[in-house]
Structure 1
Amino acid sequence: MTSEFNDRIAAQRAILRAINYVDWKAEPLLGLSRKAIDRWITSNGIEADSDLAKLVESASSKLFFLANKSQDQISEEYQLVRTEIAATRDAIVRLLFPK
Structure 2
Amino acid sequence: MKVDFYRRIELMREALLVVNSQDCWKEELCGLSVNAISRWAVASGLADESAIVVSLTRISRKLGFLATRSQVAIVDDKENVEIELEADMQKLKATLMEFGSSESSFE
Q: TM-score, normalised by structure 2?
A: 0.85
Say whether residues 1:88 and 2:54 are aligned partners: no
Deviation at 1:78, TM superposition (A): 0.4
Which has more radius of gyration?
A: 2
Structure 2 partner of 1:54 = 54
Identical residues among aligned pairs (%):
31
2:104 corresponding residue in structure 1: none
Greater RCO structure (CA 8 Å; 6+ sep): 1
**What 5-or-longer segments of structure 1 have no aligned partner?**
none
Partner Cα distance (1:54, 1:41) in 2:
10
Equivalent positions of 1:1-99 (< 5 A) are 1-69=1-69, 71-73=70-72, 75-98=75-98
Query: For 2:28 and 2:85, how far apart are their aligned partners in 1?
Result: 20
Which structure 2 segments of 5+ residues have no match?
A: 102-107
Q: Matches of 1:64 and 1:25 in 2, distance apart?
A: 25
Dislocated runs of 4+, deviation >6 Å: none
Can you list the C-alpha shifts for 1:45-71, whole angstroms capped at 9, x where unaligned?
0111111111110000000001002x4
- Aligned equivalents of 1:60 and 1:26: distance in 2? 21
Whole-Å separation in 1 of the counterparts to 2:96 and 2:35? 22
Relative to its length, the structure with more helix (as a share) is 2
State the TM-score, normalized to the length of structure 1.
0.92
Number of residues of Structure 1 aligned to a counterpart in Structure 2: 98
The CA RMSD over aligned residues, in Å, is 1.4
